[in-house]
Amino acid sequence: MTHNSNNSSEIYDAIVVGTGITGGWAAKELCENGLKTLVLERGPMVKHISGYPTMNLDPWDLPNGNQLTGEERKKYHKQLRVGWAPKPDVAHFFVDDLEHPYQETQRFDWIRGYQVGGRSLTWGRQSYRWSDLDFEANLKEGIGVDWPLRYRDIAPWYDKVESYIGVSGEALGLEQLPDGVFQPPMDLTCPEEDLKTALSEEFEDGRVLTIGRVAHITDTTKVPEGRNPCQYRNRCWRGCPFGGYFSSNSSTLPAAERTGNMTLRPNSIVHEVLYDEASGLATGVRIIDSETRETYTFNAGMVFLCASAMASVGILLQSKSTRFPDGIGNNHDQLGRYIMDHHYQLGANAKVPGYLDKYYKGRRPNGFYIPRFVNLEGQPKREYLRGFGYQGGASRGDWSEAVAELGYGAGLKAGILEPGTWQIGATGFGEMLPYWENKVSLSSTEKDKWGLPQLDFDVSFKENEYKMREDILREITRMFKAAGFTEVESYENETGPGLGIHEMGGARMGHDVRTSVVNKHNQVHEVPNIYVTDGAFMTSSSCVNPSLTYMAFTARAANHAAQKFKNGGFK
């Protein structure tokens, strides 16, 4: 799969920048359409199975009780300040903050993974569809710009992605959370079933509880090539040797490789997309080899930016020419604007009386989900726009292990031989609105070790997010009490943009080149052979985990690009 050719005279049909959630999908679709595709990754190679050094280690096998040493903590100083940092079992899949610095006009917690597979190795795997409630909200409320497509345009691509990656879940028939192509749902625990019943009996606004929709194979009759069903180990972010959950390494990159059309080059830092004034098209990219520091130029008929939202924006900002002095596609000061993330780190905990004769089998790598139930059609409007959902879990131990964004580094519990009483908890995930002043730009003074300008973040939550947070706390407390749980305590931790690890925006999609960067096919308006399909294209943020939507848009864009290529190109 790896081919370190430095031959810059070869012209590829396509270049894909990045190998994470979207880069893997772009590679797969382009290669399966017959395009000779160069896939570039700034980090080192990680091979499926052999590249997961801690995948089978038990707690007692890990150094220092799986705690970072003082020296190691310095490498993760930005990630440590938000209450968690990658422990030794997964530190190799997260960036060294000292080696990869960035600037903060306002604090931004940028969590990154630089390796083949990117954060597809460590993502939370929650997989939800958007609805027209999301795609139409900006237009109806006069916020930002209108999405140039609707649910019907992306629904077939959701079908394609879900069918391929395997999404375990339950159909609900909700307009605000469309059903998908599901494998059998994982089980709820007894207290979760109690909460589900309480929501339907005690509340009249249609709120429901379901098991999370998660990218894990649970149907043993529908197992994709090279993968196996989930083994309920809940060691997912160390890398799954079974391929039970979806990652680029176990799924899309091997599919691309099987075509014979992919060349994968790790340790390749793309820092510029090259632009030809005569044709008005991109001609390729310029890279720095992270190991040798040599520079190379690679040429292709199209470029897919899938480097992760902020990294792709950074590449576009660095791609300057006479035509685009402020970055490619940025003649209207849209690039780097409207940065968003989900806000969370607040919710409630409670004790669950009874069920001391009940337990559960395995370590379910999933929790429950309560979909959005506020500001829906026909409901009274709240003090804020948009909405939120909850992720949570109930167990005889640390409930936060059921929520990927909370369970990082949960320690070994003292009473491991005797299960404790039942606990339940949930955290809210709220939508953030797009704001012009929330931006990322290139630092004019600070550079990284390769001489490239660092990104400078100037992003903050505003009044709408803070008003919503008051409601998130109020509603989860009401629900837990209605279910008869005891010692209900709400909590709100220090938080800020970036920590949700759902950063998006910066090259938003829209109808008009004056107010957006890419069109409805993810093409840069003024340079149509550049596609941006990671989170950078997002025009609003919804309140659900975004990766499934990124994958669906990437599959759609890659097939659009392949068709264009076969029909003669982009002129």
Q: What is the pLDDT of residues 149-171, one digit of tens each?
A: 999 999 999 999 999 999 999 99
Please state, for a pLDDT cut of 70, what percent of the chain lies above it.
94
d(CA 73, CA 185): 38
- Which secondary-structure segment (H or E) carries 286? strand 281-289
Q: Is the pLDDT of residue 509 over 50?
A: yes
Q: What is the largest CA-CA distance in the chain?
A: 75
**How far, in whole angstroms, is CA 178 from its chain's centroid?**
19
- 136: Cβ–Cβ under 8 A, 6 or more apart, which residues? 147, 150
pLDDT number for residue 398? 63
pLDDT tier for residue 80 given thresholds of 50, 70 and 90:
confident
pLDDT number for residue 410? 42
Q: Is the pLDDT of residue 185 over 70?
A: yes
pTM for this one?
0.95
Q: Is the pLDDT of residue 411 over 50?
A: no
Tokens 């096919």, residue located: 521
pLDDT number for residue 427? 96
Q: What is the pLDDT of residues 43-64, one digit of tens each?
A: 999 999 999 999 999 989 998 9
Query: HSE-up of 43 (CA within 13 Å, CB side)?
Result: 24
